[in-house]
A and B are shown apart, each in its own frame.
Chain A
Amino acid sequence: MFQDILVSGLVNSGVYALLALGFSLIFGVARIVNIAHTAFYMLAAYALYGLLVIAKVPFLLAIPLAVAAVVALSLVCYKLVIEPVRQHESAVLIATIALALIFQESLLVAFGGSFRGIPNAVEGVVSIIGVRVSYQRLIVLVVVAITLVATWYLLNRTRLGLAIRTAANDQEIANLMGIDVSRVAMYTVGISVALAAIAGVVVAPVFVVDPLMWLSPLVTMLAIVVLGGLGSLKGSVIGAFIIGYVEAITVFAVPSGSYLKGAVALTIMIVVLLIRPEGLYGVVFEEER
């Protein structure tokens, strides 16, 4: 049982981490609570489905196409919808909710409510210390690792990363230093949605694709991000592992209570917040004035 928990916890955490990273990034830099984040993830899954299953495009071509299409769409949405109301926090919030609803309803009209499946990139299973894991899940873990390193490198070792971090710290100062803040925000949105889209194309084969699929990972993702500390990439990954393992332990410890795994994970989040209101690795904001 112990090795079961170890392995299934690990693979589930990988899925969660990939989703949480992008959300955390856009909040950390642009202070946007992007409710539509998992909706972009859903769009990428549908784009992949359309390319792969309907248009019969080969895998290696379909994946970059799907990601690129979703990122392009997100930039258009950002320019048209979010940027004009950036100053109004509450308007941004429901603009992202409305966007998510628009995506959901468009997909519902275009594809209907049926569930769809996306074939795995690589078929087969491997046995890790006696526990069967499909290759697709291993791919997810590898992609998480690569994405994490790439994001860290981008933020800490490139000029764009420097600009993004400066803008995250203080928009006005960044402006004074000659940084085009609105362009930096654009880049951030692009990177963040790209992360969501990558999650969509590698994770979607593991799950089922349908127009309401954005809601349940949204809640888990928000819990992870809050638990880890908003805006902290390290926190998101660690949060993902905590929630992933909590869920696995719940399933193995109380099999007839496995429906409770979501509720248990959320309770853990609340408990952590009670002890550390800024999450595990969150920045302690000065009381904003």
Chain B
Amino acid sequence: MIRKLLLPAVAALGLVFSQGVWSQNIKFAILGPMAFVQGENHWAGAEMARDEINKAGGIAVGGAKRMVEIIKIDTNEIQSVPDATNAIERAISRDKADFLIGGFRSEAVIAMQEVAMDNKKLFMGVGAAAFKLGQNVEQNYERYKYWFRASPTKDIDLAKTLFAVLGSVAEQIRKDLNRPVPKVAIVAEKTAWTEGLIKAAQANLPKMNMEVVGLWQPSAIATDVTAELSAIKRANADIVFTIISGPLGIVLGRQMGELELSAVAWGINVEAQKDGFWQATAGKGNYVSTLDTYAEVETTPKTIPFVRAFKARFNKSPIYTAATYDAIMALKQVIEQTGTIEAEKLIPAIEKSEYVGTGAIATYDNRHDLVWAVGKTSGIAVEWQDGQKVPFWPPGTKGMKPFKLPKH
């Protein structure tokens, strides 16, 4: 008897509850080291996406409009990996986030990926380039299919861009300085992700009519490379090919300027992507060039308006972790297309989707990594010229300026 009464009651309650759920906000947890520039950009990009979507009335999910809510999760990943995993668990089970977006330090993101996969939550990576993250999807699809890397491309694909730009820099040196075979010094931080790039560089550069004069591998957090630079100076290098993600990039830029090296630095230098680079090198980082994501150039039709709006709102230019904006917008596109926020149904849709973002035109491969193509996901190259970050590559994109060689 009691059962008979209870059953409809529970059903009714369930209905009310699920209705409640339907009218709720869609929650995006933004994960990042919030005290650091990477995290600030994670959050800033997400704020832009939220405001834009909510202003337009929200995301249409099967007829109903639902608002976007973003939750700031400080992972503290730069200082502690366990903290990062606790933070993502908190986002999932406490804050009941529907989607996870962000992450930066590779070691931490690998650990966070596990927690997200345990909970079968869609995790859009924005920041970590480690190949392993996508390889997991390929090797164990059922478990890791909830992971997508919205930005940047995986580390090995970065190499393709690097060599393409290196070729054009070398060409300029051949022409302007009359060096038929430019000499290249490779400076790579000693980390696993640089290994493949170094091998590729050592193999490819001679074919590209360049000479590798040496390989220096300081620690990613080295505070001093004067000894290395003295050796590079002695080797008469024309190009310093950098593969650096850590603060080493600042030290290198500053000390190259201080010692008035005539070589030009090109490569990956994550710190040089930040506005603060000029100040951090005390104005010595002139001519340092790096792979980058955002500038006022027409990478996609959305890039220039986004970068301008970002600068107007936050008084600084975005770095690549601001692609949280793209991640949220890409999710909005597939949510509206499929009419659901269930991860299982969204995954095939994302896999098939093409999303025109602000930093890239995103399509995914079987590792849930961005498919690499010049002008689509290759990013851009920028050079510091007298306090300004000047974009100079790919040449076909509107808004590019010439690359300059050091004067001393």
Contacts and interface: CB of A to CB of B under 8 A. Distances in A.
Interface string A186-230: 000000000000000000011110101100110000000000000
B183 to A, nearest CB: 14
Contact of B223 (A9, A109, A207): A207
A115 interface: yes
Given A216-B221, A255-B215, A112 B280 contact: no
A108 B35 contact: yes
B243 to A, nearest CB: 13
A113 B281 contact: no
B261 to A, nearest CB: 8
A224 B203 CA distance: 40
Contact of B230 (A114, A120, A131): A131
B181 to A, nearest CB: 20
Contacts of A115: 247, 250, 271, 276, 280
Most buried by B among A7, A251, A252: A251
Interface residues of B, number: 42
Contact of A132 (B228, B233, B279): B233
Nearest to A15: B224
Contact of B37 (A12, A15, A112): A112
Contact of B227 (A53, A208, A216, A248): A248
> Dominant SS at the B interface?
loop
Given A207-B223, A208-B280, A217-B223, A114 B274 contact: yes
B141 interface: no
Given A113-B35, A116-B280, A208-B251, A125 B258 contact: yes
Interface in B258-307: 258-260, 271, 274, 276, 279-284
A208 B215 CA distance: 23
Contact of B231 (A114, A120, A251): A251
Contacts of A5: 227
Given A115-B247, A132-B233, A255 B228 contact: yes
A221 to B, nearest CB: 12
Contacts of A87: none
Contacts of B190: 259
B375 interface: no
Contacts of B219: 258-259, 261-262
Given A112-B40, A259-B218, A118 B226 contact: no
A252 B37 CA distance: 34
A8 B226 CA distance: 7
Nearest to A7: B230
Contacts of A212: 78-79
A58 interface: no
A259 B224 CA distance: 11
Interface in B193-226: 214-219, 221-224, 226
A119 B216 CA distance: 27
Contacts of A248: 227
Most buried by A among B218, B226, B247, B280: B226
Interface string B9-49: 00000000000000000000000010111001000000000
Contact of A112 (B36, B227, B259): B36
Nearest to A213: B223
Contacts of B226: 8, 11-12, 133, 137
B389 interface: no
A132 B260 contact: yes
Nearest to A257: B217
A256 B279 contact: no
Most buried by B among A7, A112, A137, A212: A112
Contacts of A252: 227, 231
B234 A1 contact: yes
B279 A134 contact: no
B19 to A, nearest CB: 43
Interface string A45-69: 0000000010000000000000000
A259 B217 contact: yes
Nearest to A136: B258
8 contacts: A53-B279, A132-B259, A206-B224, A207-B224, A216-B221, A248-B227, A261-B218, A262-B219
Leading 8 A-B pairs by shortest Cβ distance:
A259-B190, A113-B36, A117-B282, A259-B219, A251-B227, A115-B280, A8-B227, A117-B280
Interface of B: 33, 35-37, 40, 78-79, 189-190, 214-219, 221-224, 226-228, 230-231, 233-234, 247, 250-251, 254, 258-260, 271, 274, 276, 279-284
Interface of A: 1, 4-5, 7-9, 11-12, 15, 53, 108-109, 112-120, 125, 131-134, 136-137, 205-208, 210, 212-213, 216-217, 247-248, 251-252, 255-259, 261-262
Given A114-B36, A117-B282, A217-B223, 10 more contacts: A114-B276, A117-B283, A125-B260, A132-B230, A207-B224, A216-B221, A258-B216, A258-B219, A258-B222, A259-B222
